[in-house]
Amino acid sequence: MPFPEPATEERLRDEVRELARELIRIDTSNPPGRESIAAEFIAGYLAEAGVEAELAGPDPERMNLIARIEGAGEGPSLMLMAHTDVVPAPDADWTVPPFAGEVRDGRVYGRGAADMKGELASRIVAFAELARSGERPAGDVVLIAESDEERNTADVGMSWLVRERDDIRCDYALNESGGMVLELAGGRRVVTISIGEKQAASLRLRFYGRAGHASVPAGADNVLARAAEAVRRLIAHDAPAELTPPIAAALDGLGAPSGDPAVAIEWASDQHPVLAGMVPAMTRMTITPTGLQTHEPANVIPPFADVICDCRALPGQGLDDVREQLDRALDGIAYELEPLEPLEGGTESPTDTPLYAICEEYVRERLPGAELLPIVSPGFTDSHWVREAHGTVAYGFAPVFSTPLAVYLDGMHGADEAIDVADLAEMTAFNLAAVRSLR
C-alpha cells in the first residue's frame, strides 16, 4: 500500500505534538512513578474519540491503561505498547524546564520526549484516529500504556499485566528501541528494528577487610582498596563475544566478513558511531559497576564494601555464566555475589512475519534505498514480558528519520531530551499504516 507523507497530515501532526507536550508535563519520574495521573489523562483523551479505556493495576497510584478496538474478522491482533514512566530529570544541565514540554525550532523538549512519551503520543493518536474513522481493523488492536518500565521493581506494570490480565494477549506488538536511520561508512542506509534483547539484572559484590579506626590507617586492611581494584578490573574486562543467530543475522545484514567473529564485530563497529557502542554490547555479556556502598561512619575503616553492578547477559546465559566472568575478571580477589534481582529478558522474535514485512515496506517507501536492520537491543524493554508470557511477536520500531541521532540518543536519560515534531508525525503515520495493513 502507498504510505501517506506525514507532512501532509497537518491535523495529526498538530495533535500528536500537543499530546506529547501534555504527557511530558505530567511528571511521572520513576521513582516514585505516580503514573495513574498520566493514565487518567489518556483515558480522558480517548473518551473524546469515543473509546472507553480501563485503568488496571495493583497500586492505585501506578495504574496501567488498557483500551481496545475490536477487529472485523479473524485477523491477527496487534498491541500498541508504550510506558508512561520516565527517569528522573535533575535540572542542573537542562537549558529548558524538564517538564514544560517546550517547542523550539520544530522540536519538542522535555523528559520523556524520546523515551518514550513522544512515541506513546504517536500510538495514542493513531489509535484514536482509527476509532474516529469508524474503520474496523482485521483483528483487535489493543493499546497499553504501562507503568514501571524504567525500574521494573514494583511489579505494577507489564509484568503484572501479563500475569493477571490474560485478555490483553495479542499476536503482535509494537514497542520501543528501533527505527533509527544509520548512514553506514560505505554509503548504505539502514533502519534499525529491535527483534530481541539481552537479559538484565542487578548484582551486589561484597568484599571483606578488617574494621579499624580511620585515624591510624597504617597497616590496616582497608577493604576499599580491594573494592577499587575490583571496579578497575570489571571496567577493563571484556567477556568473550558470542554470535547468537539473530546477532549473526544482523552482522550479515550489515555485510560483515564471515569467519572470525572478532573480525566481524570490529568491522561492524567501524560502520557507524552508534554501532561502535551497540555491536560490542550486543555480542557479549557486560558487568558494569554502577555504585559503591559501605555501612560505617567516616571515622571507621569498614569491615566490608559492596560494589553494585548492572549485568546484561546474552540469551541463554545464566547465573553460572555470570560467576564465570566475575571469576575471570576478579582472579585473586575474594568476593561474595548476591543477585539483587533475577536475570530477566533474553527473548527474541522471528523476522519472517507479516508485521516485519510491513515495517520493511514502510522503510522502502519512505526512505528509498534504505534497508531494515534487525538488532538485539543491549537494553531491556517490556517486549520481554509479552514474548515470554504470550508468545507475542514483538518488535521495537518507531521511525526516527528527522531528529539527529546525537540529539535523540544523548537526551535519553540525559539533559535536554528532545524529538522533532516531524518524527512524532512520522511515528503516527507508521502506527496507522501498521494497524490498517496487518492481515
List of residues 6+ apart from 269 with CB closer than 8 A: 275, 276, 279, 280
Do 321 and 395 belong together in one domain? no
Confidence (pLDDT) at 5: 45
Question: What CATH number is attached to the domain comprising 73?
Answer: 3.40.630.10
Average pLDDT score over the chain: 94
Query: Is residue 236 included in any domain, yes or no?
Result: yes
* Three-state SS sequence of 221-251: CCHHHHHHHHHHHHHHCCCCCCCCHHHHHHH
C-alpha cell at 298: 567516616
C-alpha cell at 40: 487518567
Confidence (pLDDT) at 2: 47
CA dist list (Å): 71 to 112, 166, 358: 31, 18, 18
Confidence (pLDDT) at 8: 52
Residue 364 pLDDT > 50: yes
Per-residue pLDDT averaged across 413-427, rounded?
A: 97
What confidence tier does 7 reach under pLDDT thresholds 50, 70, 90? very low
Angstrom distance (rounded) from CA 193 to CA 106: 25
Read off φ and ψ for residue 342, nearest 5 degrees: -70, 160
Of 328, 345, 362, the last residue of a domain is 345
Do 171 and 201 belong together in one domain? no
Residue 131 pLDDT > 90: yes
Which DSSP string do the residues of 262-295 spell out, in sequence order?
HHHHHHHHTT-HHHHHHHHHHHS-EEEEEEEE--
Residue 104 pLDDT > 90: yes
- Percent of the chain residues topping a pLDDT of 70: 98
Query: Is residue 165 included in any domain, yes or no?
Result: yes
Domain count, the chain: 2
What confidence tier does 6 reach under pLDDT thresholds 50, 70, 90? very low
Per-residue pLDDT averaged across 39-63, rounded?
A: 98
Per-residue pLDDT averaged across 232-260, rounded?
A: 91
What pTM does this model have? 0.92
Do 383 and 421 belong together in one domain? yes
pLDDT one-digit tens code per residue, 332-359: 999 999 999 899 999 999 999 999 999 9
Do 24 and 164 belong together in one domain? yes
Q: How many residues does this entry show for the chain?
A: 439
Of 292, 326, 345, the last residue of a domain is 345
Angstrom distance (rounded) from CA 294 to CA 304: 7
Question: What CATH number is attached to the domain comprising 258?
Answer: 3.30.70.360
pLDDT one-digit tens code per residue, 148-190: 999 888 999 999 999 999 999 999 999 999 999 999 998 999 9
**Residue 238 structural domain:** 197-345
Q: Which residues are known to be catalytic? A: 85, 149
Query: Is residue 413 included in any domain, yes or no?
Result: yes
Helix (H) or strand (E) holding 316: none
